[in-house]
Chains A and B, each alone.
Chain A
Amino acid sequence: MTPALRRGMFLVGIAGFLAFYLWGLTRLPGFGRYPGPYGFVVNRIAVGQTNATGVVSAVNFEYRGFDTVGEEFILFAAATGVATVLRRLRDEQEGGRSRAAFGESPSGTTDAIRLASLVFVGPVALFGWFLASHAQTSPSGGFQGGVVLATAFVLIYLAGQFLAFRRVSPADLIDSVGAVGAAGFAAIGLTAVVLGFAYLYNFLPLGTVPGAVSSSGTIALISFFVGIEVAAAFILIVGELVEQTLLVRAEGGDK
């Protein structure tokens, strides 16, 4: 294929795309105008039905809970994939080679970065825990909380050494926590089935005060499980990648 022909094909393609795109834009609702009735309906009934004032969480973990199970397992599968591929790779490369490099701190870390990271570990972990456990009351949820919680572990790595990171998050423990989180979500749904309801039916008492931490039945519980699953999956992925990096560094012999 000659460059001229390639350019011609690109121009035809982009012209077609542009035409369809502009045509689509003309039919969009006006700025700030929301024509969907579903959002209005949910806004009106969600708090009364679930006692959760975090309506987004009510939608995520209740009204479309089954979709969320799928999303949860996408992340779980991704983490499993990373672990499977990288651990296998490592076992093949490693052989009897020394693992001295794992005691090293990340290259180029100054004391200022270490101190700042160390100072932030506690607050970040607390914030992540708060987010994961308050999905039912305020804008937050297990996904966000889980990633924030995992970030605290990344800060431990930044503040110290990979060994410290591994000591507070041993691979086996992280694997198990992730599995418990993913299985917990599915198990809540199955428990509802065993009790004779639909899958993921909110079978727990909803509490009496809308917006209380103890309210909303299964929504809070599911958010908790999602939180630990997401945190574990993210720690696992970061941990594997860091280990890969250190391994290559050890082989290269450079610092």
Chain B
Amino acid sequence: MTPQVADALAAGQPMAVVTPYTVQPALMDALQVVLLILVAAGATVVALTRVPVRQTVALSAYGLLLAVLFLAFQAPDVTLSELVVGAVALPILLLLALTRVRRREK
């Protein structure tokens, strides 16, 4: 334990650094609930889509939804990672792989 932490504990300060919302907490709750439902719906759509190319596009949209969800839960770093990997990088690789497989089949 570092001196700063020991001092903070001794002074009885709360350890958590809480960033308060700039909007009504109830509004934030509503936004989070809506996003959770959207993410669940999005995942279902991805799972139920049977055509691989369409599924890849759905997966990209789902990655975007998930990124927005992470943002609403105050995790901007994870948002960026999800955005670049889930919504961009993974769909690109999947599309390229699908193209390759399809060319071979012809």
Contact = CB atoms under 8 A, between A and B. Distances in A.
Interface stretch (A175-183, A194-202, A241-249): A241-249
SS of B interface (majority): helix
Contacts of B99: 245
26 contacts: A41-B1, A41-B2, A44-B5, A44-B8, A44-B15, A44-B17, A45-B4, A140-B80, A144-B81, A144-B83, A147-B84, A147-B85, A147-B89, A148-B84, A151-B84, A154-B92, A234-B89, A237-B93, A238-B96, A241-B93, A245-B96, A245-B99, A248-B100, A248-B103, A249-B103, A252-B103
B84 A241 contact: no
Interface of B: 1-2, 4-5, 8, 15-17, 76-77, 79-81, 83-85, 88-89, 92-93, 96-97, 99-100, 103-104, 106
A252 B106 contact: yes
Contacts of A248: 100, 103-104
A21 interface: no
Contacts of B81: 143-144
Nearest to B7: A44
B25 to A, nearest CB: 11
Interface of A: 34, 37, 40-41, 43-45, 48-49, 54, 56-57, 131, 139-141, 143-144, 147-148, 150-151, 154, 234, 237-238, 241-242, 244-245, 248-249, 252, 254
B15 A245 contact: no
Nearest to B99: A245
Instruction: Please list the 7 inter-chain residue pairs (A to B) with the smallest Cβ-Cβ separation, ordered nearest first.
Output: A40-B15, A139-B76, A147-B84, A248-B103, A241-B96, A56-B77, A144-B80
